[in-house]
Structure 1
Amino acid sequence: MPLHLRSRDRPEDIMLIYLFQLLRKALDRAEHCRRDAYLASAVDMVELERRMHANEID
């Protein structure tokens, strides 16, 4: 059963789960922005394609 549906969870547990989800979302957004900046700094299409390919591998 998913964590957020268990009736025996204390309010503190629910808050920690919520904060964890917020933190994960914030980190995902930060990583997306970092990746966009990295790709945007490519000087030409060849460099952009190389960077895009390197991102796919990682």
Structure 2
Amino acid sequence: MRTLAVTTMDPRHRVLCRIRIEGAEEAEKICLLMGSEVAPRRQFIAAGATELDEARIDI
């Protein structure tokens, strides 16, 4: 099983995106993924599930 240290924190695997003022509204929506409330995160994932590109999933 991959840990957070390997999958997210390791600079070889993480992706950093610059957020500009024009993207502030979209960034605010995505930041809810970092909160402690589960319901908004679940809604975000469910809403994007139809746009899933299975070819990009690394299993």
Check whether TM > 0.5.
no
User: Which structure has the bigger radius of gyration?
Assistant: 1
Q: Which has the higher helix share?
A: 1
TM-score normalised by structure 2 residue count: 0.29
**Taking CA–CA contacts closer than 8 Å with sequence separation of 6 or more, which of the two structures ends up with the larger relative contact order?**
1
TM-score normalised by structure 1 residue count: 0.29
